[in-house]
A and B are shown apart, each in its own frame.
Chain A
Amino acid sequence: MIDRAFDLLLIGGMLGLAVQVVASRALFRSVVLFIALGLLMAVVWARLAAPDLALAEAAIGAGLTGALLLAAYRALQPAGEAGDAEPAALPRRWALVAAVLSGALVAAIGWAVLGLEPPAASAGREALARLGESGVKSPITAVLLSFRAVDTLAEVVVLFAAFLGARVVAEPLGRAGPGPRPDPAGGEPVLMPLLLRVTVPMGVLVAGYLLWSGGHQPGGAFQAGAVLAALGVLLRLTGRLQPVAETSPAERLALVGGIVLFSAIGLAGAGMASAVLAYPEGWAYTLILLIETGLTLAIALPLTLLFSGSAGLRWRGR
Chain B
Amino acid sequence: MTQAGLYTLAASALAGIGVYGLIVRRHLLRRILALNLLGNAVFLLLVALARRHPGYVDPVPHAMVLTGIVVAVSATALALVLARRYYAETGLRHLPEDEG
Instruction: Identify the A interface with B (CB < 8 A).
Output: 3-4, 7-8, 11, 14-15, 18-19, 21-22, 27, 30-31, 34, 37, 41, 44-45, 47-50, 52-53, 56-57, 60-61, 64-65, 68-69, 71-73, 75-76, 78, 86-90, 94-95, 98-99, 101-103, 105-107, 109-110, 113-114, 116, 118, 122-125, 127-128, 139-140, 142-144, 147-148, 151-152, 155, 158-159, 161-163, 165-166, 169-171, 175-176, 222, 299, 302-303, 306-307, 309
Contact = CB atoms under 8 A, between A and B. Distances in A.
B56 A22 contact: no
Contact of A57 (B60, B69, B98): B69
5 contacts: A22-B24, A22-B33, A89-B24, A98-B23, A105-B12
Per DSSP, chain A at the interface is helix
Given A162-B74, A175-B88, A303-B73, A127 B60 contact: yes
A34 B77 contact: no
B53 A124 contact: yes
Interface in B3-48: 3, 5-21, 23-30, 32-34, 36-37, 40, 43-45, 47-48
Contacts of B18: 18, 22
A166 B59 contact: no
Interface residues of B, number: 77
Nearest to A306: B77
Contact of A65 (B14, B36, B61): B36
Which residue among B45, B58, B63, B64 has the maximum number of chain A CB atoms within 10 Å of its CB?
A: B63
Contacts of B20: 22, 98-99, 102
A31 B29 contact: yes
A41 B13 CA distance: 15
A169 B74 contact: no
